[in-house]
Structures are given as C-alpha cells and as structure tokens.
Amino acid sequence: MSDFRAIARGILQDNDRGGYTVPTAGLYPFQWNWDSAFVAMAFAEFDVPRGCLELERLIEGQWDDGMIPHIVFHQPSDSYFPGADVWRTSHRIPTSGITQPPVFGMAVKALHDSGAPAERIRPLFHAALRYHRWWYSARDPEGTGLVALLHPWESGSDNSPAWDVALARVPTTTTTPVKRKDTGHVDPAMRPRDQDYQRFIHLVDTYAACGWDAAEQWDAAPFKVACVQTTGILLAAGEGLQQLARALGEEAAAAELDAMNARSRAGLDQAWSDADSRFRSLDLVSGQRVAAPTQACFIPLLALDLPAARMAAAEQEMRRWCEGMLVSFPTTPRDYPGFEPRRYWRGSVWPIIDWLLVQGLLRNNATALAEDIRHSIVTALETAGFCEYFDPTTGEPCGGGHFSWTAAAYLHLSQ
C-alpha cells in the first residue's frame, strides 16, 4: 500500500467515533448524511462490514416518514452551530430536520456489489427505498420529475452561486441567535458570509415552526429549488437500488423504483439547456431556471446516457471551465462574476464532486476528460494533503484538514 493510501485509511480511523465517521474533528463533530455515504463507498473497497456499520449508524437517525437527516447528533458537542437544540426535532436520537444529497442508495449498492451479506443489505435496502419514496412524495408532490430543496444545506453545496437569487428572497431575521462556531475553526474568508447564515437560520426557524411536517414546510418554504444535482444523484442511486431489488427478489420494489426513476429521467431531460450546454435547476418560487453555472449542472451525467450531441457540448463546456486551472474541477467557472475560489462552494474544487463527475464522464465515454480530472485531484491531494477542498487557481488546501470524505475520495480515485 502506498504511503498516501495508508494516510487516507488512518484519517478514517482517526475520525471513527464508534461505527460512524465524523467529517473532521472540531469543525464537524457529528455524523453527516452524504459524508457517511461516501465513506461507506470507500469502505466497500476494503472493509465491507465497517461500511455497512457506517450506514447502519446513519439510519439510526432515519425519520418515520423515510427522511434521512443531514446530521445525526449521536453525542453532544458544543463545537458546532447549529446544534441539536436549534433544530428542535423530536426523533429518538437528536437529528437535524433537513436532508442531504441521497448518495446513500449508491453506497448500499456498492456494499452489496462488494459482497456484503443479504442479512445486512436487506434492511439498508429498505431504508433506502423508504428514503426514495420520501423524496418523491415530500419533495416533488406535483410530479415534475425534479426533486426540490427547501434549504441550501440540503444541496451539500451550501453557499453555491446557484442559490444566490433564491436565497436573497429569504429574510435575514431569526428568532434563534446566530452564534457561529465555524469561523473559529477556519479562516472566515473560506466560509459562507454572515448574511448567508442569517438566512440559513431563518429557514430553520421557519420549518421548526411547522413542527417539521413535510407538507406544511412545502407550503411555508420561502426557498424551494428543484435541483438537477440532487435529482441526478437520486436517479443514480435509484438505478442501483432497482438492480439490487431484483437481486434480492424484491420484484414489487423493483417495479416501484423503475417508475420513480423514469420520472426523474424525464425531469432531467427537460432540464437540459442547448443554449448553455448544461442542465439547469428550477427555482419553484419564481418559476425561473437557475442561471448560475455550477458543478450541479453536470452531475446528471452520473445517471444518464446523454445523446452524442449533448455529451459533446457538455464535455466542451466542462473543458472550458478547466482551462487555466491548476486543479480541476472548479465548482464555478472563473469568468462567472460570483466566482470566489477560496470561499467554500463558490468555485473551489471538492474531491467528492470530482468523484461523481469522473463517474458520470466514464459512463458517457468521455474517458480522456475523466482521466484529466482524476489525475488533477489525486496530484493535488498528494501535494497538499487531505483538506476539505482546494483553491483551483493555486492548489492551496482550504477549509478543514484531516477530512474523511477527502480520504474516501482519494482511496477511490487513486486505485
């Protein structure tokens, strides 16, 4: 094993808190939904039982309606804001009240493919099925084919330029005092702005006042964006779950997943823009397509076989974003006015996003670009370490260090 792979495994070990992995000590001291799914996919490649356990610990937080929360607060810690007291949810174990990109189903399928036994996979499969049902019923009640986010944190790309227009409509007033902890852990210039946090917490207050009831939140939400990244991930996970259903002899579930997947495929097909050579999310409050160019616009490649003309256009556009960058893939192109290469999700490079993009490009036979991105991020990690994300213009390591999903991405992409 190379030294770097040993370091990556060591990070996963250090961040283990008893069967689940915190993203990084201090900054993120709890279990996060999509972080754990990526970690479980890495474990699928060398420690299948531990990978199963990661997901089993996550679904201790699954709600009765199927939602898997974005944070499970297994143990108290006061190094993070907003903590369990701010969320005011009523699950058996304290959790947040919103979700995150549904990589979960992809991880269950990966563990199955790596030989996890049916007695561990079946309960995880059913948790994933209930989660997908929740997404379609709670977050696409009108059947458009794209699932919607009610909070930017649900995208996992918190302060992405994709949310600028929709988030600007959200008031900055809060009933909960905003006492940030993140800026005590990392340089504030790398974090979302105070105004973003005011709005993030305004949304938490709004949904807590709905008693976290999904239908009430849908009606009350001042932020509601039908997202191509989330839908692309949901469909990729749904395809894997559908195959898994067949392997497990769950024929009714397979048919149900087939129907859900078809709905997402149709929604994504309509979200393609010939003029922009990318997919575009839909702001459900204004009825406008999201104009800001971000990595989200290419994540659907994960789950679709694009027609040749669309794929050629997407590949050309992705290559354009990479031009002149030291590290790929920037989550916003440099010529966009909202580009800030060090400020969290406003243009920086995230190893797990590269993981998804590489997978999508390979699916669509864009092997050369996939290899360029893979090589670029592996080199950056070997040069600068296992940080949270990178400045694409300089290769500077940014955000938290000793980061779990970065280690997971390295283990996957460096093989």
Q: Which positions lie near ligand 9WN, rule CB under 6 A?
A: 23, 28, 32, 34-35, 70, 153, 156, 158, 182
Tell me whether residue 51 or residue 156 sits nearer to ligand 9WN (CB atom).
Answer: 156
Tell me whether residue 58 or residue 313 sits nearer to ligand 9WN (CB atom).
Answer: 58
Tell me whether residue 66 or residue 82 sits nearer to ligand 9WN (CB atom).
Answer: 82
Tell me whether residue 145 or residue 152 sits nearer to ligand 9WN (CB atom).
Answer: 152
| Maximum pairwise Cα distance, the chain | 53
**Residue 49: is the preceding peptide bond cis (ω within 30°)?**
no
The packing angle between helices 367-384 and 404-413, to 10°, is 130
3-state secondary structure of 401: coil
Separation between Cα atoms, residue 5 and residue 65, nearest integer Å: 39
Tell me whether residue 43 or residue 153 sits nearer to ligand 9WN (CB atom).
Answer: 153
Angstrom CA distances, 293 to 276, 313, 349, 359, stand at 9, 15, 14, 20
What's the closest the beta carbon of residue 345 comes to ligand 9WN, in angstroms?
6
Separation between Cα atoms, residue 251 and residue 228, nearest integer Å: 28
Helix, strand, coil shares of the chain, percent, nearest 5, are 55, 5, 40
Separation between Cα atoms, residue 414 and residue 246, nearest integer Å: 31
* Catalytic residue chosen out of the listed positions 54, 158, 239, 256: 158
What's the closest the beta carbon of residue 95 comes to ligand 9WN, in angstroms?
12
For residue 333, what are its two tokens? 């192109």
* Catalytic residue chosen out of the listed positions 182, 256, 354, 388: 388
- Clarify whether 396 is annotated catalytic: no
Give the CA radius of gyration of the chain: 20
Tell me whether residue 206 or residue 404 sits nearer to ligand 9WN (CB atom).
Answer: 404
The b/e string for 28-56 (b: 16+ C-beta within 10 A; e otherwise) is bbbbbbbbbbbbbbbbbeebbebbbbbbb
Tell me whether residue 34 or residue 212 sits nearer to ligand 9WN (CB atom).
Answer: 34
3-state secondary structure of 3: helix
Determine whether 316 is exposed, middle or buried from the number of CB atoms within 10 Å of its CB (0-12, 13-18, 19+): exposed
Edge-to-edge order in the sheet of strand 148-149: 148-149, 225-226, 282-283
Tell me whether residue 300 or residue 351 sits nearer to ligand 9WN (CB atom).
Answer: 351
**CB within 8 A of 146, min separation 6: which ones?**
140, 226, 227, 228, 231, 264, 267, 268, 271, 281, 282
What's the closest the beta carbon of residue 249 comes to ligand 9WN, in angstroms?
34
What's the closest the beta carbon of residue 316 comes to ligand 9WN, in angstroms?
28
- Clarify whether 158 is annotated catalytic: yes
For residue 346, what are its two tokens? 């406003």
The b/e string for 389-404 (b: 16+ C-beta within 10 A; e otherwise) is bbbbbebbbbbbbbbb
What's the closest the beta carbon of residue 238 comes to ligand 9WN, in angstroms?
21
For residue 285, what are its two tokens? 């409050």
Separation between Cα atoms, residue 314 and residue 327, nearest integer Å: 19
Determine whether 269 is exposed, middle or buried from the number of CB atoms within 10 Å of its CB (0-12, 13-18, 19+): middle
Q: Which residues are annotated as catalytic?
A: 158, 388
